[in-house]
Amino acid sequence: MKNETFDYYVYIVYAERDRRWARWLARNLNTYRLPHSSQKESERDETAHCRPVLHDPQNISMGNEGIRTELERSRFLFVVCSRNTLADTAPVDEVIRRFLDAGAAADRIIPFIVDDDPQPEKNCFSLLLQELNQTRTILGANVNDSGRRRAFLKAVAYMYGLKLEALESEESRRRKRARRNAAVIAAVCSVAVAVIGYRAWDYYVPKTAYFVDWTQREGIAEGIGSLKKSELAKMDAHITIVSSRGLVRECRRESADGTLCAYLPQIDPGRPVRVTYEYREDGTLSAANWYDAADSLTMRLVYVNRRTIDVYVEQSGTPHDDGSYWRTERLPDELAQTEIMDETGLAGMSDGTDGSTAEGALPEDEQVILRYLADYDEAGYLSELRYTSSEIYNTMTTDEAGVAGLRFERDGYGRATAVRYLTYLGGRGSATDADAYSAMAEKGMVCGERYTYSDRFDLEQVTYVDGEDAPTAGVSGYAAVQILYDGHHNPVEVQ
Do 134 and 214 belong together in one domain?
A: no
Give the range among 11-15, 61-65, 119-123, 473-477 with minimum mean pLDDT: 61-65
How many folded domains does the chain comprise?
A: 2
- Which residues fall within 8 angstroms of residue 473, CB to CB, at 6 or more apart? 446, 464, 479
Strands 274-279 and 238-244: unpaired
What value, to the nearest 5°, has the Cα angle with vertex 411 and ends 407 and 413? Answer: 115
In percent, the amount of the chain with pLDDT more than 70 equals 81
Whether residue 291 lies inside any domain: the answer is: yes
Number of alpha carbons in the 13 Å side-chain half-sphere of residue 422: 27
Name the helix (H) or strand (E) containing 305: none
- Say yes or no: 55 and 156 in one domain: yes
Q: Name the domain boundary from 313, 340, 366.
A: 313
**274 & 153 share domain:** no
- pLDDT single digits (tens) 201-227: 777 788 999 999 999 999 999 999 999
Residues 108 and 222 in one domain: no
Q: What is the CATH number of the domain that holds 119?
A: 3.40.50.10140
Contact 388, 369 (CB under 8 A): yes
In a 3-state reduction of DSSP, which class is residue 63? coil
Q: Are residues 63 and 125 in the same domain?
A: yes
Give tens-digit pLDDT for 246-280.
899 999 999 988 899 888 776 666 789 999 999 99
Q: Tens of pLDDT along 334-373?
A: 444 444 344 433 333 333 333 333 333 445 545 688 999 9
Q: Is the pTM of this model over 0.75?
A: no
> pLDDT tens for residues 429-456?
889 888 899 999 999 899 999 999 988 8
Residue 426 has pLDDT above 60, yes or no: yes
285 and 314 in contact (C-beta within 8 Å)?
no
Are residue 126 and residue 216 in the same domain, yes or no? no
Residue 114 belongs to a domain: yes
Looking at residue 245, its pLDDT comes to 87
Cα–Cα nearest to 12, from 74, 68, 66, 64: 74
Per-residue pLDDT at 355: 39
Alpha helices in 297-363 (DSSP H): 334-344
Question: Which of helix, strand or coil describes residue 354?
Answer: coil
Q: Are residues 158 and 212 in the same domain?
A: no
Residue 71 lies in a domain: yes
Answer yes or no: is pLDDT of 22 > 60: yes
Mean per-residue pLDDT, 397-411? 92
CA distances in angstroms from 39 to 87, 160, 432, listed in the order given: 39, 9, 79
The β-bridge relationship of strands 405-410 and 371-376 is unpaired
Q: What pLDDT was estimated at residue 33?
A: 80
Q: Which amino acid is at 216?
A: Q
From start to end of 49-105, where are the E strands?
53-54, 74-81
Domain boundary among 162, 179, 194: 162
Residues 124, 17 within the same domain: yes
Q: Is residue 481 part of a domain?
A: no
Domain of residue 33, residue span: 8-162
pLDDT of residue 236 exceeding 60: yes
**Of 332 and 481, more confident:** 481
Last-in-domain residue among 286, 313, 340: 313
> 20 pLDDT band (50/70/90 cuts)?
very high
468 contacts 487 by C-beta, under 8 angstroms: no
Residue 222 domain-assigned (yes or no): yes
Determine the pLDDT at residue 332.
Answer: 62
- State how far the alpha carbon of 182 is from the alpha carbons of 31, 174, 188, 259, in Å: 18, 12, 10, 54
Q: Do 12 and 153 share a domain, yes or no?
A: yes
Q: Which helix (H) or strand (E) holds 456?
A: none
What would the pLDDT profile of 284-293 be if each residue is shown by its tens digit?
A: 999 999 999 9
pLDDT(321) > 60 = no
